[in-house]
A and B are shown apart, each in its own frame.
Chain A
């Protein structure tokens, strides 16, 4: 582990019982994130995995303090280097954002300002957070663009986002987020909008940067391939709650939550014999029931039993210790006399 300040070894980010509720006039409030807790240590990469709408992006925006203020209530605790961010003032958050914690977004085209040259969009971070004049900043910008693998960076400074390819745009966004060597980087589906070949390059780039600088990385994705290649620990989310947490190899080898198992089974694999059918999860995320009534995944779950319902068991399904380094929210998890054939293959991709 690289030396990352006086708190080295202690988590960079501690999220505890984070809950986000959206309320709109005349409609029932929606709890998008519901008691999520996790830590990230320096140099560590964690994955937040789930289908769209499971609350993973909202979690990341809440951590960054980027949710709109009106109609949104954030409770719980987010500590960055021990500093509480929930309820923190705007000016303090602005000082941290871009400098100590940064974010890379899903769609690089819409995430870049179309009317401002790439160069300005990189230098403005430097000028904001570091003691630099314009000249130094643009020299640094060239270095940054070069570091993220953008060819001919001097010329690119003057170009506009629409003149760059999708992969280049994402590289530019990464350059911006890394400009001030943040201690925490949150990447929200950074490869989803890109071609498959570019995806691999971007992931490779992120991995290198994290290893080089000891930055903690939170990877938000629905793509298990990304998790397999990058993450140390994985938190699987469903309907606003974490339902399973495990070290990567463990998770791929022995998924316990039937939802996790279903996710893994629905990924096509090269090592499966031909003709092996893919097993998609029934239904869609829309079929979730509120956690107060039972396990949200129960309507789609093949293992569901009577006591998955709150009215039978008398309590909301808790997230519990499930062996060393593992946590699980399930009453009827998948059991393994031994690992199912080939289950480790994906996990061993790294």
Chain B
């Protein structure tokens, strides 16, 4: 080997290390960590996250933030057919057809709407994932039975399925949540199963098998964790659809009849009758729904890209 000045040698290595350095952020980081890193630098994801966080804070501190009680009726003397008082002193957004403060109802409504979204999605997620894991982990006849069942639920268009469940369970907030959850179950089940099957066939799973790793360890230690990212993405997106779906059910008269719990969907549905009198009664809750749904959607879409190795550079 040729003699090389030690100092120079080191200098070359230094330069090489700099030139060949892997851009900061990747390499050696777990997929989740690097996904979060990328999300933090993504303005769209941040907008989505900020929207979601703001609404969560509003929901959590509703009693502190709301200027009035959401069910007390005010200004009743001023309400007559064809006239609903607009914004004025003490009522920044005016009152609804029953004289209740619109702003306070919107603030309190965030609690109920977000709760319906979260509970129904979590419910759908838990049941759907259980079915998906069963099908994906065991395969064979378990897979066939589970997937046939899922296909049957899927054969009824979403809202019709929700209507069916909701009619069966009667009108209350739990029925609403369950109805929406049922629609989500097949989505999660199929997604998880599909992604698990793909992972099971992948080289690393086959390699683990060849190394003699136990099947249960492969499925639950490797395949399942690696299959979760599409499910997480879908769950985020589902939060948006669940809230919209709840509004639709309310609109069809299948909402929560308890007036003590204002909810955007019900407010929107109720306001349709007064659209030509005061369209803002409908526009405000609709805006809340749209913005929250948008927040979850932005977050979900960006999460999808962040978790997808295809988009990684």
Whether B2 and A299, one on each chain, are in contact in the complex, defined by CB atoms closer than 8 angstroms, is no
Whether B1 and A304, one on each chain, are in contact in the complex, defined by CB atoms closer than 8 angstroms, is no
Interface size bucket, B side?
A: 10 to 19
Closest 4 A-B residue pairs measured CB to CB? A299-B16, A306-B8, A286-B20, A289-B15
Tell me, yes or no, whether A65 is within 8 Å of chain B by CB: no
| Alpha-carbon gap, A136 to B10, bound state (A) | 67
Whether A332 and B2, one on each chain, are in contact in the complex, defined by CB atoms closer than 8 angstroms, is yes
Q: How far is the CB of A253 from chain B (nearest CB, A)?
A: 22
Which of chain A's residues has its CB closest to B1's CB? A302
Q: Which of A264-320 contact B (CB under 8 A)?
A: 283, 286-290, 293-294, 298-299, 302-306, 308-309, 312
Whether A293 and B15, one on each chain, are in contact in the complex, defined by CB atoms closer than 8 angstroms, is yes
| Alpha-carbon gap, A119 to B12, bound state (A) | 55
Chain B residues within an 8 Å CB radius of A294: 12, 15
| Alpha-carbon gap, A94 to B269, bound state (A) | 59
Which of B13, B16, B18, B20 is the most central at the interface, judged by chain A CB atoms within 10 Å of its CB? B16
| Alpha-carbon gap, A207 to B36, bound state (A) | 52
| Alpha-carbon gap, A2 to B9, bound state (A) | 52
Chain A residues within an 8 Å CB radius of B43: none
| Alpha-carbon gap, A99 to B5, bound state (A) | 55
B-side binding surface: helix, strand, loop or mixed? helix
Chain B residues within an 8 Å CB radius of A308: 12
16 contacts between A and B (CB under 8 A): A287-B20, A288-B16, A289-B12, A289-B15, A289-B16, A294-B15, A299-B12, A299-B16, A302-B2, A304-B9, A304-B12, A305-B5, A308-B12, A309-B12, A309-B15, A312-B8
Chain A residues within an 8 Å CB radius of B5: 305-306
Tell me, yes or no, whether B11 is within 8 Å of chain A by CB: yes
Whether A303 and B16, one on each chain, are in contact in the complex, defined by CB atoms closer than 8 angstroms, is no
Tell me, yes or no, whether B211 is within 8 Å of chain A by CB: no
Please encode chain A, from 29 to 67, with 1 for each CB lying within 8 Å of some chain B CB and 0 for all others: 000000000000000000000000000000000000000
Chain B residues within an 8 Å CB radius of A302: 1-2
Chain B residues within an 8 Å CB radius of A286: 20
Q: How far is the CB of B57 from chain A (nearest CB, A)?
A: 32
| Alpha-carbon gap, A287 to B21, bound state (A) | 8
Chain A residues within an 8 Å CB radius of B152: none
Q: How far is the CB of A262 from chain B (nearest CB, A)?
A: 13
Count of A-B contacts with CB under 8 A? 45
Whether B8 and A290, one on each chain, are in contact in the complex, defined by CB atoms closer than 8 angstroms, is no
Chain A residues within an 8 Å CB radius of B8: 305-306, 309, 312
Whether B16 and A287, one on each chain, are in contact in the complex, defined by CB atoms closer than 8 angstroms, is yes
| Alpha-carbon gap, A303 to B3, bound state (A) | 8
Q: Which of B12-32 contact A (CB under 8 A)?
A: 12-13, 15-16, 18-20
Chain A residues within an 8 Å CB radius of B16: 283, 287-289, 298-299
| Alpha-carbon gap, A345 to B8, bound state (A) | 37
Whether B19 and A305, one on each chain, are in contact in the complex, defined by CB atoms closer than 8 angstroms, is no
Which of chain A's residues has its CB closest to B15's CB? A289
| Alpha-carbon gap, A293 to B16, bound state (A) | 10
Tell me, yes or no, whether B259 is within 8 Å of chain A by CB: no
Chain B residues within an 8 Å CB radius of A305: 2, 4-5, 8
Please encode chain A, from 136 to 158, with 1 for each CB lying within 8 Å of some chain B CB and 0 for all others: 00000000000000000000000
Q: How far is the CB of A88 from chain B (nearest CB, A)?
A: 31
Q: Given A299, A306, A332, which contacts B13 in the complex, CB threshold below 8 Å?
A: A299
| Alpha-carbon gap, A294 to B12, bound state (A) | 9
Which of chain A's residues has its CB closest to B8's CB? A306
Q: How far is the CB of A5 from chain B (nearest CB, A)?
A: 45
Which of B2, B4, B15, B20 is the most central at the interface, judged by chain A CB atoms within 10 Å of its CB? B15
Whether A298 and B2, one on each chain, are in contact in the complex, defined by CB atoms closer than 8 angstroms, is no
| Alpha-carbon gap, A304 to B10, bound state (A) | 12
Chain B residues within an 8 Å CB radius of A298: 12, 16
Q: How far is the CB of B211 from chain A (nearest CB, A)?
A: 27
| Alpha-carbon gap, A290 to B19, bound state (A) | 7
Chain A residues within an 8 Å CB radius of B2: 302-305, 332
Please encode chain B, from 105 to 139, with 1 for each CB lying within 8 Å of some chain A CB and 0 for all others: 00000000000000000000000000000000000
Chain A residues within an 8 Å CB radius of B15: 289, 293-294, 299, 309
Chain B residues within an 8 Å CB radius of A303: 2
Whether A304 and B19, one on each chain, are in contact in the complex, defined by CB atoms closer than 8 angstroms, is no
Q: How far is the CB of A301 from chain B (nearest CB, A)?
A: 9
Q: How far is the CB of B206 from chain A (nearest CB, A)?
A: 21
| Alpha-carbon gap, A290 to B14, bound state (A) | 12
Chain B residues within an 8 Å CB radius of A287: 16, 19-20
Q: How far is the CB of B166 from chain A (nearest CB, A)?
A: 43
Q: Given A288, A304, A306, which contacts B20 in the complex, CB threshold below 8 Å?
A: A288
| Alpha-carbon gap, A286 to B9, bound state (A) | 18
Known A287-B16, A299-B15; further 14 A-B contacts with Cβ < 8 A: A283-B16, A288-B20, A289-B18, A289-B19, A290-B19, A294-B15, A299-B13, A302-B2, A304-B4, A305-B2, A305-B4, A306-B8, A309-B11, A332-B2
